[in-house]
């Protein structure tokens, strides 16, 4: 790891305040395993989950929910799960992609590379995406338990504090 990345990580906040949003027509609080994984892993890593909700895979509702979460002072990052595939009802990618002001293309690229190691060519079906809206970070993950676990463990936990640090730095 480079010296500058190491210094930035040291300056990053100890914890990030995260909103978890599940996008699904079928999940309930009792069956939201993707949301459970995000909450559990983020809390184990020392982050605070300040909001947890489920919204139908309906573009206007999803956008409204995201706008509301972005406006909250107790949210630094939003992690969504679900709706990133290519089925007709999967609209998370379209909604989030249009909202992002700065895309982190490497997030989706590396996620698909890591997924390929686990599921082979089916990894191309994922439209995981991440980026910034103002000083807030959004990461959209697939709905599969394995995909969520992979993204949170390998990408978000190691970098989310650094990402939030960089986003807040540019607004001061």
Secondary-structure breakdown of the chain: helix, strand, coil percentages, each rounded to the nearest 5: 50, 20, 30
Query: For the chain, which residues make up each domain, given as ranges?
Result: 3-169
State the DSSP code for 117. Answer: H
Q: What is the reported pLDDT for 9?
A: 62
Ordered per-residue pLDDT tens for the chain, 172 residues: 666 666 666 677 789 999 999 999 999 999 999 999 999 999 999 999 999 999 999 999 999 999 999 999 999 999 999 999 999 999 999 999 999 999 999 999 999 999 999 999 999 999 999 999 999 999 999 999 999 999 999 999 999 999 999 999 855 5
Give per-residue pLDDT as tens, 50-94: 999 999 999 999 999 999 999 999 999 999 999 999 999 999 999
CATH architecture of 3-169: 3-Layer(aba) Sandwich (3.40)
State the DSSP code for 152. Answer: I
Q: What is the C-alpha to C-alpha distance for residues 118 and 57, in angstroms, rounded to an integer?
A: 26
Q: What is the reported pLDDT for 56?
A: 95
Model pTM score: 0.93
């Amino acid at each position: 790891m480079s010296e500058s990345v190491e210094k930035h990580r040291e300056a990053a906040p100890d914890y990030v305040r995260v909103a978890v949003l599940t996008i699904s027509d079928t999940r309930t609080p009792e069956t939201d395993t993707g949301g459970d994984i995000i909450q559990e892993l983020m809390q184990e890593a020392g982050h605070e989950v300040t909001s947890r909700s489920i919204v139908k895979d309906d573009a206007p509702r999803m956008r409204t929910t995201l706008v509301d979460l972005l406006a909250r002072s107790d949210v630094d990052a939003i992690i969504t799960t679900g709706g990133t595939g290519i089925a007709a009802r999967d609209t998370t990618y379209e909604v989030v992609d249009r909202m992002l002001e700065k895309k982190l293309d490497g997030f989706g690229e590396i996620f698909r590379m890591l997924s390929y190691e686990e599921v082979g060519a089916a990894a191309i079906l994922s439209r995981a995406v991440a980026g910034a809206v103002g000083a807030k970070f959004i990461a959209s993950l697939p709905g599969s338990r394995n995909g969520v676990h992979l993204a949170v463990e390998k990408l978000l936990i190691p970098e989310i504090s650094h990402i939030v640090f960089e986003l807040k730095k540019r607004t001061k």
